[in-house]
Amino acid sequence: MNNENAADNQAAAGSAGATGGASGAGGDPENPFKRSKFSRANKATTEAAKAKTEVCPYCGERPPSTLDHIKALKDIWESGGKEMTREVRSRLANDLRNLIGACKSCNSAKQSSELGPGVGQWWPKAWNDWWPFGGP
Ligand SMILES: [Zn+2]
């Protein structure tokens, strides 16, 4: 039993060492992103965000029924949020300037993607060259 566990641990450590550093995009396995690392925006802020636009700004068609973090929580986490206290990173994430109402369809298509036209980014089809948030 003990010998088997030791062998497994060694194998796991070995493979992590072999790929460590080069992977990068996956985040820190010791301190992974979880939704619970951020508090939720309060009701007033949520309603204010949804009231910014009459229709979802990503498709320009459907009602903005869900709350979208323009800079995704995972993105905030990985670009320094994990070094902050939960309160500070939540305040950053739930700043009204980072919130917008989006339809369910666009919000689930966007997920944790960064907005932009590049590889691995999500760019709403309706936008073309239009950028509503003060520059990418
Ligand atoms: Zn939409």
Q: Does pLDDT of 24 surpass 80? A: no
> Residue 67 C-alpha to ligand 1 middle, in angstroms?
11
Partner residues linked to 102 by β-bridges: 66
> Residue 100 C-alpha to ligand 1 middle, in angstroms?
11
> Residue 37 C-alpha to ligand 1 middle, in angstroms?
26
* Domain positions in the chain: 41-110
> Residue 123 C-alpha to ligand 1 middle, in angstroms?
12
* Tens-place pLDDT, residues 25-82: 556 788 999 999 999 999 999 999 999 999 999 999 999 999 999 999 999 999 999 9
Q: Are 81 and 119 in contact (CB under 8 A)?
A: no
> Residue 103 C-alpha to ligand 1 middle, in angstroms?
4
The one-letter amino acid at 16: A
Q: Decide: residue 81, CB within 10 A, 0-12 exposed, 13-18 middle, 19+ buried.
A: buried
Q: Are 101 and 95 in contact (CB under 8 A)?
A: no
> Residue 117 C-alpha to ligand 1 middle, in angstroms?
17
Per-residue confidence (pLDDT) for residue 27, from 0 to 100: 66
> Residue 104 C-alpha to ligand 1 middle, in angstroms?
7
> Residue 55 C-alpha to ligand 1 middle, in angstroms?
8
Q: Are 106 and 61 in contact (CB under 8 A)?
A: no
* Tens-place pLDDT, residues 92-124: 999 999 999 999 999 999 988 888 888 888 888
